[in-house]
Amino acid sequence: MKLIVVTTPTFFVEEDQIINALFEEGLDILHLRKPETPAMYAERLLSLIPDKYHKQIVTHEHFYLQEECGLMGIHLNKRNPNMPEDYSGHISCTCRSLNELQAKKRVYDYVFLSPVFNSITTPRPAAFNAETLRQAAEEHLIDSNVMALGGVRLENIPLVRELHFGGAVVMGDLWNKFNACTDRDYRGIIEYFKRLRKAVG
């Protein structure tokens, strides 16, 4: 099962150092999600991440960065629903229902299913109960190309594995371990990531 991290929606000073450390500790894929931010900030962040990790980064904005920076691919969303003309690289998207999942999972390289659990960063409740997810797994609607997003934390990763998701997508559970305004030592977030990495296997 893959471990995927989605960035915070805003940039912060230590971000490149933390991201590089996450890759060094075995991060599979990073989703660069910075809504409503200028492209120049994304370009700068990417310039501080070694090229060898760029093939493990998917961008949610400024899709030209995929080719310019040699990124893994792009993630379509409500803000950016259309892929660039003549684009033939990796594409992912987020599905908010099982019907949408059924329609899109074979069209994209992989999809996020969200929210699988109660969201950590927003007041959004889980869209599915455990029984619905188990049935979807039994019917192979959930498989290795479907990643669990929304409220994923260390404690529920065993259930994500049990449901046969292809990956666990972590955001709030990880970034809540670092306060960009007050923390200057990011060892705590890296140590927590190691626990996530071990749980995912």
The set of residues, in sequence order, having a beta carbon less than 8 Å from that of 57 and lying 6+ positions away, is: 29, 30, 31, 32, 46, 49, 69, 71, 72
Tens-place pLDDT, residues 75-124: 999 999 999 999 999 999 999 999 999 999 999 999 999 999 999 888 88
Q: Where are the domains of the chain?
A: 2-200
Tokens of 108: 């994209």
Alpha helices in the chain (DSSP H): 15-24, 39-47, 64-68, 98-104, 130-138, 157-162, 172-175, 187-200
> What is the per-residue pLDDT across 128-169, written as a single tens digit (0 to 9) for each?
999 999 999 999 999 999 999 999 999 999 999 999 999 999
> If one looks up domain 2-200 in CATH, what number appears?
3.20.20.70
